[in-house]
Amino acid sequence: MKSVLQDLPKAGENSNTEPLLPKSTIDVFYDKDCPGCRMDLRKETCLGAPYKELLYIWIIALCVGLPISSLYPYLYFLVKDFNVTKRDEDIGYYAGCVASAYMLGRGLTSVLWGAVADRYGRKPVIIFCCTTMVILTTLFGLSTNFWMAVPIRLLLGASSAIFGPIQAYATEVCREEHQTLALSFTSSAWAIGMIIGPAMGGFLAEPAVKYPNIFTKDSLFARLPYFLPCLCISIWTAAATIACLWLPETLHKHKESNEESHGTGITEKRQDSDEIGSTKSENLFKNWPLMSCIVVYCVFSLHNMAYSEIFSLWAVSPKKYGGLNYSTDNVGEVLSVTGAGLFLFQLAIFPKVERILGPLKVARVCAVLSIVVLASYPSISKLSGTSLLLCINIASLLKSILSTSIFTGFVILQNSTISQSQRGAANGIASTAMSLFKVFGPAGGGILFSLAEKRMNASFLPGTDLIFFILNVNLVIGLVMTFKPFLVLPQRVRSD
């Protein structure tokens, strides 16, 4: 196809819409007032990856991940300070409720934000939700009781349900050969947020106790010991909101009166021929390749969310309950190392591995290796000193790399089943389903953790052995579902 620059509207022409190429060659039009057309033109003429936009996406996706997990290191102590339990063994139940409220709110609004993004654009949805996140994250840090914390977390989750539009934007801002890299940016940011969040919570919670030379006993941070991590996340999100102002829109917006140009831009025909997915008239719920990807994706998400909460609770629980007896600082140090290693892997290694194996095979291999890594956790808790520090850092890093690779692989598979016109809605459905599954992750993890502490002397799967066994059962179920006849993929996607 010859360069589209040769057929752009000449200066001084009155028409906003001109055919890029002779209609007999390709039946598409360029609308200079359409942001989606301008983005398509840019992708046709600029062959490199748009690293500036990908950096913005990374910052925004990180904002979505941070509030989810930042409270995990101090959640046990937060609930204890709320004085809603009579026994320490019951703290896990209430901790699960606080953590699950976020995912419930996210699940209730993900489809809505995806549909709004498909109708009005990705950029306005991202800016609005980021602004709301700043306010609600700050309010959560100011919570003084359980009944205040839960509804604020619910609303925070509702305003954070923009991962679907973010994923759609990531695929639309890049040429097809760079989409794996773009999705690696979004998934790595989310995963690193799930790691840096707990690190921030671990280091910054109770600052008046940890850093008395900086925060006095009479300061606001002494009266509200868990406000500082929330404040720092709000500041980061505010910066991301400002960065959003420079994001170019990718959604096609054509005038309704111009029927000929009401399409999806320069690359419409090429995308429609390359992608096996839905069209504007197709019901997404009848697209089984999409739905099967989403279901498997949700099973792994349930596991990952339960693991994220259980890891922090397990790490800070006493040795007599099979935990590591770590402080929040210790947990923060482990997760900081994990976050740095994960970031390097996702950006430097994962795209190369995905090109060699394909997204589905990557997900399967990583699921198998995750089972092996997770089975070692009960033995790690019996170590101490340097050997414990070394083993827990290695295990945590490997587990996060493997989980994030599974996640990224299924995001790639999911987006291969749909066209641009429904990408926001499809990612919204995936985010809703994932969030609803994740509602049960923290709640189930908290219940499972409390149950494990009450059966330390059981003859079969005592204490933490039960926790990690059930997590592995979840992984096995997800692995089995990645094969036919359950998982069905378009022919263009490598599945062997």
Task: Provide the pLDDT for residue 235.
Answer: 92
Task: Provide the pLDDT for residue 490.
Answer: 63
Residues in the chain, overall count? 496
> Does 50 score more than 70 pLDDT?
yes
Structural domains of the chain, ranges and CATH numbers in brackets = 47-252 (1.20.1250.20), 283-495 (1.20.1250.20)
* Weakest-pLDDT range from 113-122, 443-452, 473-482: 443-452
Distance CA 468, CA 258 (A): 59
> Does 41 score more than 60 pLDDT?
yes
> Does 2 score more than 80 pLDDT?
no
Residues with Cβ within 8 Å of 93's Cβ and at least 6 positions away in sequence, in order, are 85, 446, 447, 450
Instruction: Give CB contacts under 8 A, 24+ apart, made by 138-147.
Output: 138/230, 138/231, 138/234, 140/67, 140/230, 141/224, 141/226, 141/227, 141/228, 141/229, 141/230, 141/231, 141/234, 142/224, 142/227, 142/230, 144/224, 145/82, 145/84, 146/79, 146/82, 146/84, 146/94, 146/98
Q: Are 451 and 466 in contact (CB under 8 A)?
A: yes
Would you call the peptide bond into 485 cis, given omega within 30 degrees of 0 as the criterion? yes
Distance CA 328, CA 77 (A): 10
* Weakest-pLDDT range from 203-207, 253-257, 421-425: 253-257
Structure-block tokens of residue 379: 């033995």
Confidence of residue 315 (pLDDT cuts 50, 70, 90): confident
Nearest CA to 353 out of 341, 371, 365 is that of 365
Residues with Cβ within 8 Å of 435's Cβ and at least 6 positions away in sequence, in order, are 103, 104, 106, 107, 110, 157, 161
Cα distances from 399 to residues 144, 214, 368, in angstroms, run: 34, 36, 11
Across the chain, mean pLDDT equals 77
Nearest CA to 118 out of 167, 65, 51, 184 is that of 167
Give residue-wise pLDDT tens across range 347-368: 778 878 888 888 889 999 999 9
Structure-block tokens of residue 73: 């290191």
Residues with Cβ within 8 Å of 124's Cβ and at least 6 positions away in sequence, in order, are none
Distance CA 107, CA 494 (A): 30
| Residue labelled with tokens 């320490």 | 88
Burial of 183 (0-12, 13-18, 19+ CB in 10 A): buried
Distance CA 103, CA 97 (A): 10
Cα distances from 289 to residues 172, 176, 246, in angstroms, run: 20, 20, 35
Distance CA 464, CA 466 (A): 5
Give residue-wise pLDDT tens across range 275-312: 433 344 467 777 788 888 888 888 888 888 788 778 87
Q: Are 208 and 217 in contact (CB under 8 A)?
A: yes
Structure-block tokens of residue 430: 């995936």
Percent of the chain exceeding pLDDT 70 equals 81
Q: Are 137 and 155 in contact (CB under 8 A)?
A: no
Give residue-wise pLDDT tens across range 115-142: 888 788 888 888 898 899 999 999 988 8
Task: Provide the pLDDT for residue 255.
Answer: 66
> Does 22 score more than 60 pLDDT?
no
**5 residue type, one letter:** L
